[in-house]
C-alpha cells in the first residue's frame, strides 16, 4: 500500500499539474486563435466586388478586346471599384474621381510605382528610365534633371525656334499637297518627331540621314506600341514568363535593339563632332545662341562628364547617377510619349471638328481675330486663343491618349474606398470612363469645348488637381511632359486650322470608332483634303 500511496502522491504532485498546465495552454491557445480569426475577419476590409471568373483563366473569356469599354460596362454592375482576375493576376479597376483621389493624393506614396509588363524590361533598359523606374532616389533625380534641364517653361521657350521651323515646314508640305487627301496622323507624327528629336539632339544627323531615320523610327515605334498593348501570357501568368510563349519578348528585344543602335550612332556622332570642335576643325553653325538653345544630349553628355570626374562617377547628394544607358532610356521615353500622343490628339481634334463644322468655324474665327489671315500663328498667340484651348481640353477629355494612364502597383496593402488593395496587384484608373462619367459631366458624350470656358475653366488644368479630369495622370508620377504638350498640341492644331480649310474626300464617311491599346487611337486613319486659307500665299513658303 505504501508503494501505491507513493505513486499516487507522485502523480498528484508532479504529473497531474503538468498535464493540467498543458491542457490549459492548449485551450488558451485555441481560444486566442479563434478570437484572432474572428477579429481579423471582422476588422480586415474585404476585397472589392467583381464578376466571378473561371478556374485558371479568371475573367479573361468575358472581356472584349476594347478593354476600356469592357471595364466601364463591368463598373455599371459592380461599382466604381472592382476586382478582376486576369489569369493569375489580380487587377483592381477604379472608375470614380473620389477613388482616383485616394490613389493619386491620399495614398500617393503607396501607389507611386508603375506596374511593369513582362516585355517592358527591354524598352526601359531594365527599368532605369524615368517612366518605369521604381519610386525613389534614382527616379527623383532623373525627373529633376529632365525638368531643370529640358522640360521647363524657360528652356522650352529658348527652344521655340525648333518647333517654329518644323511647324512652318509642315504647313509648306501640306500646301504642296493641297487638293489631295492627306493622312493627318502621319503628318502630325512626322512633325512631332522632328520637333522632339531636334530638342533631343539638334542637328547631329545630316538631313538625308535624318529623313531615313524618321521613316524607320516610325515603323519601329508602331510595332513597339503594338507589342506593348498586346495581351501577353507572360503578364497574365508570371510563372510562365520565362517561356515567352507568344514571342512578344523576343520581338520587343529585336525592335528595341534597332532603336538602341540608332541612338548609339546619334551619340557617337555627337561625341565625334565635339572632339572635332575641341580641335578647332569645326566652327559653331547657325544663328541660334548656343548658350540659350542647347539640346538635351549636349546637356546630358556634359553631366555625364561631370560624373566621371567626381569620385569615379559616384554621385553626391545633388548629382544623379548617369550613364549612356540612362541617356538612351530617357530619349526613348520622350520619343514614345511625345510623338504618338501628340499626333493622335491632333487627329482626334480634326475628326471632332469635321464632325461638327460650326465648332471648327468658331475656332477659325478666333484665329482670324487674334492672328489674322496675313500672318502665321506663333506660340505667343496661344494664351489669347481661349476657344482653341477649350477644343484641346475637350479632345483630351473624350479621347485621352492613355485610357488607363499607366497602371500602378502598390508597394504595400492599402485600403481604398473601404476595400483592401493587396500589395503587388495591378491597379488601373480608368481615366476614359471617369472623364465620361454623367455624375461629373453634363452631356458627357457630346463634344462641347464651351464647358471649359465657363468660369475660365481654370479648375480643369492638366496638372490632375481636379480628379474628374486627369488626361495626364495625377500625383507625383503625373506626366512630366505636360509643359511640352501644352505648347505642341495647340500650336500644331492652330497652325493647320489657320492655314487651311479642311473637308473629307467625296463619298467618305467620318469614322469615330477607337482602337484600344497602350494609346487610344482612331480605328481608321483620318484622311482629309486641305485647301489654302491665308490671304498671302507667300506665307506658305
Determine the number of helices (DSSP H) and then strands (DSSP E) in the chain: 18, 10
- Mean pLDDT, the chain, rounded, equals 86
Of 17-21, 248-252, 319-323, 359-363, minimum mean pLDDT range: 17-21
Across 213-231, average pLDDT:
83
Whose CA is closest to 118, among 85, 84, 89? 89
Whose CA is closest to 201, among 338, 336, 298? 298
Across 491-505, average pLDDT:
96
What pLDDT is attached to residue 291?
Answer: 43
Give the chain's length.
Answer: 541
pTM of the model: 0.86
Across 60-73, average pLDDT:
90
Rounded distance between C-alpha atoms, residue 178 and residue 528, angstroms? 10
Instruction: Inform me whether the pLDDT recorded for 183 exceeds 60.
Output: yes
The answer for residues whose C-beta is within 8 angstroms of residue 91's C-beta and 6 or more apart is 83, 84, 85, 425, 426, 427, 428
The answer for residues whose C-beta is within 8 angstroms of residue 504's C-beta and 6 or more apart is 354, 510, 527, 528, 529
Q: Which grid coordinates belong to 478?
A: 503625373
What pLDDT is attached to residue 289?
Answer: 43
Say which CATH architecture domain 60-540 belongs to: Orthogonal Bundle (1.10)
Strands (E) across 87-141 are located at 89-94
Backbone angles phi, psi at 466, to 5 degrees: -105, 115
Amino acid at each position: 500500500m505504501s508503494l501505491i500511496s507513493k505513486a499516487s502522491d507522485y502523480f498528484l504532485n508532479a504529473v497531474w499539474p503538468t498535464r493540467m498546465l498543458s491542457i490549459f495552454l492548449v485551450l488558451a491557445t485555441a481560444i486566442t486563435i479563434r478570437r484572432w480569426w474572428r477579429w481579423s475577419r471582422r476588422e480586415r476590409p474585404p476585397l472589392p466586388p467583381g464578376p466571378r471568373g473561371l478556374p485558371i483563366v479568371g475573367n479573361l473569356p468575358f472581356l472584349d478586346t476594347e478593354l476600356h469599354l469592357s471595364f466601364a460596362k463591368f463598373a455599371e454592375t459592380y461599382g466604381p471599384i472592382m476586382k478582376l482576375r486576369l489569369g493569375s493576376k489580380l487587377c483592381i479597376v477604379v472608375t470614380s474621381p473620389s477613388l482616383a483621389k485616394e490613389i493619386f493624393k491620399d495614398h500617393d506614396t503607396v501607389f507611386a510605382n508603375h506596374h511593369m509588363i513582362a516585355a517592358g524590361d527591354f524598352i526601359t533598359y531594365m527599368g532605369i528610365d524615368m517612366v518605369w523606374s521604381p519610386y525613389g532616389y534614382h527616379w527623383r533625380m532623373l525627373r529633376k534633371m529632365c525638368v531643370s534641364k529640358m522640360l521647363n517653361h524657360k528652356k522650352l521657350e529658348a527652344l521655340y525656334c525648333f518647333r517654329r521651323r518644323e511647324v512652318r515646314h509642315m504647313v509648306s508640305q501640306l500646301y504642296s499637297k493641297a487638293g489631295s487627301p492627306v493622312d493627318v496622323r502621319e503628318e502630325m507624327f512626322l512633325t512631332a518627331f522632328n520637333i522632339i528629336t531636334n530638342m533631343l539632339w539638334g542637328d547631329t544627323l545630316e538631313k538625308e540621314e535624318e529623313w531615313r531615320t524618321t521613316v524607320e523610327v516610325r515603323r519601329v515605334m508602331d510595332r513597339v506600341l503594338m507589342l506593348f498593348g498586346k495581351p501577353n501570357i507572360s503578364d497574365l501568368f508570371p510563372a510562365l514568363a520565362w517561356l515567352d510563349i507568344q514571342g512578344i519578348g523576343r520581338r520587343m528585344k529585336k525592335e528595341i535593339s534597332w532603336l538602341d543602335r540608332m541612338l548609339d550612332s546619334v551619340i557617337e556622332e555627337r561625341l565625334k563632332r565635339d572632339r572635332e570642335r575641341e580641335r578647332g576643325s569645326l566652327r559653331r553653325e547657325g544663328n541660334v545662341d548656343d548658350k540659350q538653345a542647347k539640346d538635351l544630349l549636349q546637356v546630358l553628355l556634359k553631366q555625364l562628364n561631370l560624373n566621371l570626374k567626381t569620385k569615379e562617377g559616384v554621385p553626391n547628394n545633388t548629382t544623379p547617377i548617369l550613364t549612356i544607358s540612362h541617356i538612351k532610356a530617357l530619349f526613348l521615353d520622350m520619343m514614345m510619349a511625345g510623338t504618338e500622343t501628340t499626333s493622335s490628339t491632333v487627329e482626334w481634334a480634326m475628326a471632332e471638328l469635321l464632325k461638327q463644322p460650326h465648332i471648327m468655324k468658331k475656332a477659325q474665327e478666333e484665329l482670324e481675330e487674334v492672328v489674322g489671315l496675313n500672318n502665321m500663328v506663333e506660340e505667343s498667340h496661344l494664351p489669347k486663343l481661349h476657344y482653341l484651348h477649350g477644343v484641346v481640353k475637350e479632345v483630351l477629355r473624350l479621347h485621352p491618349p492613355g485610357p488607363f494612364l499607366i497602371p500602378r502597383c502598390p508597394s504595400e496593402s492599402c485600403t481604398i474606398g473601404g476595400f483592401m488593395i493587396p500589395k503587388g496587384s495591378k491597379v488601373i484608373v480608368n481615366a476614359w470612363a471617369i472623364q465620361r462619367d454623367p455624375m461629373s459631366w453634363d452631356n458627357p458624350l457630346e463634344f462641347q469645348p464651351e464647358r471649359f470656358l465657363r468660369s475660365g475653366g481654370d479648375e480643369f488644368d492638366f496638372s490632375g488637381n481636379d480628379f474628374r479630369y486627369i488626361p495626364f495622370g495625377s500625383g507625383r508620377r503625373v506626366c512630366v511632359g505636360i509643359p511640352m504638350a501644352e505648347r505642341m498640341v495647340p500650336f500644331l492644331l492652330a497652325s493647320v486650322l489657320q492655314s487651311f480649310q479642311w473637308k473629307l474626300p467625296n463619298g467618305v464617311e467620318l469614322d469615330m470608332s477607337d482602337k484600344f491599346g497602350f494609346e487610344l487611337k482612331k480605328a481608321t486613319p483620318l484622311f482629309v483634303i486641305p485647301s489654302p486659307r491665308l490671304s498671302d500665299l507667300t506665307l506658305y513658303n
